[in-house]
Amino acid sequence: MTRTFDPTRQPEADFSLVQRQLSQGYDGHFLLVDSAVLHEKVRRFKEAMPRVHPHFAVKCNPDPGILAELYKAGAGFEIASPAELALCQAMGVPAAEVYYSNPMRAREAVEVAAKAGLQWFVIDSVSEMRKIVALKPDASFYLRLHTSNEGSVNPLSEKFGVFEEEVADMVREAVRLGADLAGATFHAGSQCLNPDNWRTGIEAAVQAFAQMRAAGLKPRLLNLGGGFPVEYASPVPTIKDIGLVINEALRAVPDEVRVMAEPGRYLVSDSTYLVCRVIGTTVRRGHPWAYLDAGLYNGLLETTTGITFNMASSRQGELVPWTIAGPTCDSLDICNRSQPLPHNLQEGDFIYVHNVGAYSNACSGHFNGFDLPKIMVV
Ligand SMILES: Cc1ncc(COP(=O)(O)O)c(C=O)c1O
């Protein structure tokens, strides 16, 4: 049965699915993924930007059940490693349709990808271009450009990207090697609240394309990266708002250029509840603390990167600010220092954390011997 969503609001995971799951008992923290939301997010993305093909960033959530739903909904994929490529292949996605968007790879990783038939590799250095050409002379390349990340919650411009003045060197080397340098990409920064970053990124790509064409290369791929935001505790630009900026900027991009993007967070975050439980409470210097059976290492890593999740509990009561900590002995494992929750919260109460589909299970570990979150896709 297809669910209808209010088009004026962010789609929300259906809480009755959580209740149904809990009615069967509780065996430790888990992620409950509402697949209808995954489909709705792919639909909204395409509706807002009809020219832009979404290729989900597998790193954001590599759960096979989630990937399968996104594939059914019409998304493609972008990978950072051979393990992620294998996940795509296991679903029957042809490797030639998968994009390798991690700009630095081990030689062995390139060999695995080339053998599988992957065609498109991102690069942002002459050395990586040479490495890949030596292993796969007919590879096609897209250039990661360094562009503005201003106004994004998690900037990603520190580690990768060629600066404007370095594009000429990359083009010259591609011509010298006979390499198919045929595209450009950038990343606006994750949870990007500034639609202008996509406009300036597209403008930078258009300039890079002109340099490629002048050197006899044939640009035909524009990859708008990820960064599309979701609403956590405060409002964000909608996908429609961002689409308007992008669609306008794309008017300068010729029709023969395929346009794609690599949304991660936008496609999966809202679909998922983290359900966990209070394992103990205390008061420290007059301030209440609650310790949960899940923390940074079990699904809530993003609380360390500026994301504030909404949390609700199974108990009713006047809301007061709590410090919320995970179950490990690590002082880093503190998720929020002023989370509104009922004053009478107690051991055993359930905590429902909204919008935890992105970088949750993907960034979890067994630190201190605690479990990874289980995932249920319904
Ligand atoms: C190359 C690349 N593409 C896409 C993404 C997805 O970004 P987001 O989840 O912000 O959409 C990332 C995230 O780190 C990335 O590194």
Q: HEC states along 141-173? A: EEEEECCCCCCEEECCCCCCCECHHHHHHHHHH
Determine whether the shortest distance from the Cβ of 60 to ligand 1 is under 6 A.
yes
Residue 217 has pLDDT above 80, yes or no: yes
What is the predicted pLDDT for the residue at 158? 85
- Residue 191 CA to ligand 1 center (angstroms) comes to 9
Determine whether the shortest distance from the Cβ of 187 to ligand 1 is under 6 A.
yes
Residue nearest to atom 9 of ligand 1 (CA): 264
What is the predicted pLDDT for the residue at 156? 87
pLDDT, tens digit, 9 for 90 and up, residues 68-78: 999 999 999 99
Instruction: Answer with the residue of higher pLDDT: 156 or 144.
Output: 144
What is the predicted pLDDT for the residue at 3? 86
Q: Say how many residues make up the chain.
A: 378
Residue 137 has pLDDT above 90, yes or no: yes
Average pLDDT of the residues in 186-194: 95
Region of 207 please: left (phi>0), alpha (psi -120 to 50) or beta. alpha
- Residue 152 CA to ligand 1 center (angstroms) comes to 12
Share of the chain above pLDDT 90, in %: 96
Atom index in ligand 1 nearest the CA of residue 190 equals 10
CB distance 60 to 264 below 8 Å? yes
Average pLDDT of the residues in 83-112: 98
Residue nearest to atom 4 of ligand 1 (CA): 226
- Residue 145 CA to ligand 1 center (angstroms) comes to 14
pLDDT, tens digit, 9 for 90 and up, residues 293-317: 999 999 999 999 989 999 999 999 9
Residue 350 is inside which H or E element, if any?
Answer: strand 350-353
Atom index in ligand 1 nearest the CA of residue 263 equals 11
In order of 162, 210, 308, the CA distances from 168 in angstroms are: 10, 11, 41
Determine whether the shortest distance from the Cβ of 103 to ligand 1 is under 6 A.
no
The overall average pLDDT reported for the chain is: 97
CB distance 175 to 215 below 8 Å? yes
Pocket test for ligand 1, best of 145, 159, 190, 194 (most atoms within 8 A of CB): 190
CB distance 341 to 296 below 8 Å? no
Binning pLDDT at 50, 70 and 90, where does residue 1 land? low
What is the predicted pLDDT for the residue at 2? 75
Atom index in ligand 1 nearest the CA of residue 228 equals 11
CA–CA dist 266, 60 (Å, integer): 10
Determine whether the shortest distance from the Cβ of 101 to ligand 1 is under 6 A.
yes
Structure tokens at 113: 């990808």
What is the predicted pLDDT for the residue at 273? 98
Residue 312 is given by DSSP the state E
DSSP lists the bridge partners of residue 141 as: 121, 181
pTM for the full predicted model: 0.97
Binning pLDDT at 50, 70 and 90, where does residue 119 land? very high
What is the predicted pLDDT for the residue at 233? 87
Determine whether the shortest distance from the Cβ of 262 to ligand 1 is under 6 A.
yes
Domains of the chain: 37-267 (3.20.20.10), 270-377 (2.40.37.10)
What is the predicted pLDDT for the residue at 248? 98
Atom index in ligand 1 nearest the CA of residue 102 equals 1
Determine whether the shortest distance from the Cβ of 29 to ligand 1 is under 6 A.
no
- Cβ burial of 338 (10 Å; 0-12, 13-18, 19+) is exposed
CB distance 101 to 80 below 8 Å? yes
CA–CA dist 104, 43 (Å, integer): 32
In the chain the first and final C-alpha atoms are separated, in Å, by 12
CB distance 31 to 274 below 8 Å? yes
CA angle centred on 211, ends 198 and 168, rounded to 5°:
95
Alpha helices, DSSP H only, in the chain? Answer: 15-22, 35-48, 64-72, 82-90, 107-116, 126-135, 167-177, 196-214, 239-249, 265-268
Instruction: Answer with the residue of higher pLDDT: 135 or 1.
Output: 135
- Residue 90 CA to ligand 1 center (angstroms) comes to 22
DSSP class per residue in 41-53:
HHHHHHHH-TTEE
Q: With CA atoms as reference, report the closest residue to 71 among 102, 101, 96, 42.
A: 42
Residue nearest to atom 12 of ligand 1 (CA): 226
- Residue 363 CA to ligand 1 center (angstroms) comes to 14
In order of 98, 121, 209, 257, the CA distances from 254 in angstroms are: 23, 22, 10, 6
In order of 182, 183, 215, 261, 377, the CA distances from 119 in angstroms are: 12, 12, 22, 17, 31
DSSP lists the bridge partners of residue 323 as: 289
Residue 10, classed as helix, strand or coil, is coil
Checking DSSP bridges between strand 319-325 and strand 334-342, what pairing results, if any? antiparallel
Residue 149 has pLDDT above 80, yes or no: yes
pLDDT, tens digit, 9 for 90 and up, residues 326-347: 999 999 999 999 999 999 999 9
